Chain A
């Protein structure tokens, strides 16, 4: 094993995968809920909520990272709540890296899901209701499964964003090897040192490989869903 990858490279790769996967797993359900809410309701604060959701996409990542630091450091408003309620800390820990990745990925995950819900035929949902399905049942049996390709697309985008997240992470949880040093941060550090090029190249290949596997896997799943539903659009 250690013939190709150094123990340090393994640590970085494993941490990156862990952070990206946890971030994706947490972001997708929350983004799905908010996307459904935004897609099916029109209320006075709609544009504000939608704007807030998109903020991490347009704000400089350093600012997002700094705001996270303010809110989630041990004496921050949210930091204290999480510490007391769940015993979870964020500052300079991998959980913080996952949080930063989640927040940065959120708009990318939410948008395709919202579009998937918005493009659903209203008549189909209404028909489900006339067949006796209440709001919750109709969501679980019709809206959600029909939005699955959109949710998958959002998850892949989110995973990619989490894997490559740099600015917010380094600002929020710094660049600590073995704790918060993800792939992007490690590559950056290695490129700073005169002898790090070879090691950096290894990490870059790992990054490309993970991204490639993720996109191929998602295409495969999406294809399976479409085949199950009777083949590609005629």
Chain B
């Protein structure tokens, strides 16, 4: 377990982080300039805090009071910076094995395993200059893995990559975490990245670690707390794939005991998926008697009503053991006379969920 409790200031930026991260993938989520990269550099030992402690399962990496500061080279961290930072004069193979031949570290995984896991086996003899952005990121990940790290630190691993490339890399990161059992700390500003990868998340704001917990808990409330427009963030639903309707191209899911269909390419039956809900694309009805083109009607309870600026309200909707958020006008709330603890039906379009489904 990683424990961080550090304070300091750099130029005009002051920070005060205090959190611990469990095994699994933890997302450090916040706007740019919130101090996420600073935090990652402090953990990696590339920068030094004024005071505090950084420790990893019993090993103290930094202790301001005891004047301990273990160098980056000895912290056993796999750091993947934003721009992958590959060694341009070395082949992919030499990049991957760098910590082995340059620093004498022994990896728990073989070059073959890592290259296959990351799908870079056919790139081994190439030079970084001849790789695409996505390939570079995967090589950087592999290189970090080969250094036998106690923890992986990823700084915006998807920056500058298009959705297609991200879809290509994300499963590899999940696989690394699951098969090789390395805890991962992931810095990102994008909710989508968090939903794609993270098991738990920590909200970083103005140089401080704020809300933390599971995505299900934190995401719905973080939308407003972090000043992010709630319309892009309605929380998430978790479902299981139960079938695929080939003739219409619809994935059939089960979410909290109810059924949900989503457009898109077939996802293997039995897979668990996360669905990122866009709060302003959720329609709310009194009952499901109305006929619409929308394919999904989820029966929900209203657990909370929050006033938003500009005559909007946020409804926290509970559906079985899951909850998400809808954003509607105040007028709609009054006309439908929706009340706290009352029942309603949330209507979700299959088409608008198409790009919001992330296999786990």
Contacts and interface: CB of A to CB of B under 8 A. Distances in A.
Interface of A: 121, 123-124, 126-134, 137-138, 141-142, 145-146, 148, 228-231, 233-234
B128 A130 contact: no
Contact of B73 (A130, A141, A146): A130
B358 to A, nearest CB: 28
Contact of B83 (A123, A145, A234): A123
Nearest to B47: A126
Contacts of A128: 87, 98, 102
Nearest to B44: A130
Contacts of B297: none
A68 to B, nearest CB: 38
Nearest to B103: A132
Interface range on chain B (Cβ under 8 Å from partner): 20 to 34
Given A230-B127, A230-B129, A124 B85 contact: yes
B129 A142 contact: no
Contacts of A124: 85-88
A132 B76 CA distance: 8
Given A141-B102, A230-B129, A231-B129, A130 B77 contact: yes
B102 A137 contact: yes
B130 A231 contact: yes
Contacts of B128: 230
Given A126-B72, A145-B89, A146-B88, A131 B102 contact: yes
B90 to A, nearest CB: 8
Nearest to A227: B127
B99 interface: yes
B316 to A, nearest CB: 42
A175 B1 CA distance: 74
Contacts of A229: 88-89, 127, 129
Given A230-B129, A230-B130, A126 B73 contact: no
Interface string B84-118: 01111100000000110011110000000000000
Given A146-B89, A229-B89, A131 B129 contact: no
Across chains A and B, which 4 residue pairs bring their CB atoms closest together, nearest first?
A: A132-B103, A230-B127, A230-B129, A131-B99
A124 B104 CA distance: 19
B75 A130 contact: yes
A68 B82 CA distance: 51
Contacts of A230: 126-130
26 contacts: A121-B83, A124-B85, A124-B87, A126-B72, A126-B79, A126-B85, A127-B85, A128-B98, A129-B46, A129-B71, A130-B46, A130-B144, A131-B73, A131-B99, A131-B143, A132-B102, A132-B105, A133-B98, A133-B99, A134-B71, A138-B102, A141-B98, A146-B89, A148-B89, A230-B130, A234-B129
A186 to B, nearest CB: 42
B263 interface: no
Interface in B127-181: 127-130, 140, 143-144, 147
A55 B77 CA distance: 45
A231 B131 CA distance: 12
Contacts of A231: 129-130
A133 B85 contact: no
Given A230-B126, A230-B129, A233-B129, A129 B72 contact: yes
B78 interface: yes
A148 B73 CA distance: 25
A129 to B, nearest CB: 4
Nearest to A225: B89
Given A133-B98, A134-B71, A229-B89, 17 more contacts: A124-B85, A127-B81, A128-B87, A129-B71, A129-B72, A130-B44, A130-B46, A130-B72, A130-B73, A130-B144, A131-B143, A131-B147, A133-B73, A141-B102, A228-B127, A229-B127, A231-B129
Contacts of B71: 129, 134
A229 B91 CA distance: 8
A130 B129 contact: no
